[in-house]
Amino acid sequence: MKIASILPALGMAAVMCLTACKKKDIFEDNRSQGYLSMKIDGQELAVSKQLTGSLYDTANDIMSHLIVSGMTSDNQFLTVNVSFLNKELKPGTYRLNDFGYNTIGWIQRLSDAMGYAADDTGLGASATIIIESISETKAKGTFSGIMIHDVDADKKKTVTDGKFEVTVMKHTK
């Protein structure tokens, strides 16, 4: 008899708990606040969804990597990647080097899985990324460069007026 009278109260408590709890959204919970934008051959592109600023301290024991990326409203993918030697997060000018560090990338259509990247100096790519401020929680900077098509190295795109300011999520080993 006691169980029968307790069941409605337990049911009400369960309903109140379930409706009061906010459901977790993996895309919202893992999204940075801020902005990322650039001009490619004069056309302005700005990230409007899935913006992330990630600081990876996992690649090896001597480097940290900042990756700022996201998608435009029409699903173009933009990314900026900066490597910090000796894991020293410090403002400064970072350029694309022969090892493929400090890169810029753009994929116009994710379904094609082909895009442009400033990641190979041997093909004429270049990237200059200026970190204005950086910490384990925030990053701000500007960038420009020349990106090369993934398949046809004769196709190039010029990046100007690149800028970002994001909250950073740190990933460690």
What are the pLDDT digits (tens) for 119-155? 999 999 999 999 999 998 999 999 999 999 999 999 9
- Residue 15 located in a structural domain: no
* Domain range for 122: 25-172
- Residue 18 located in a structural domain: no
- Residue 16 located in a structural domain: no
- Residue 70 located in a structural domain: yes
**Distance, CA of 75 to CA of 125 (rounded, Å):** 24
Q: What is the pLDDT of residue 59?
A: 55
* Global confidence as pTM: 0.80
- Residue 161 located in a structural domain: yes
- Residue 39 located in a structural domain: yes
72-105: b or e for each residue (b if 16 or more CB lie within 10 Å)? beeebbbbbbbbbeeeebeeeebebeeeebbbbb
Q: Would you say residue 77 has pLDDT above 50? A: yes
Total number of domains constituting the chain: 1
- Residue 47 located in a structural domain: yes
Which residues 6+ apart lie within 8 Å of 25 measured at CB? none
**Distance, CA of 90 to CA of 84 (rounded, Å):** 8
Overall size of the chain counted in residues: 173
Query: Which residue is listed with tokens 């900026």?
Result: 80
Task: Report the chain's C-alpha Rg in angstroms.
Answer: 22
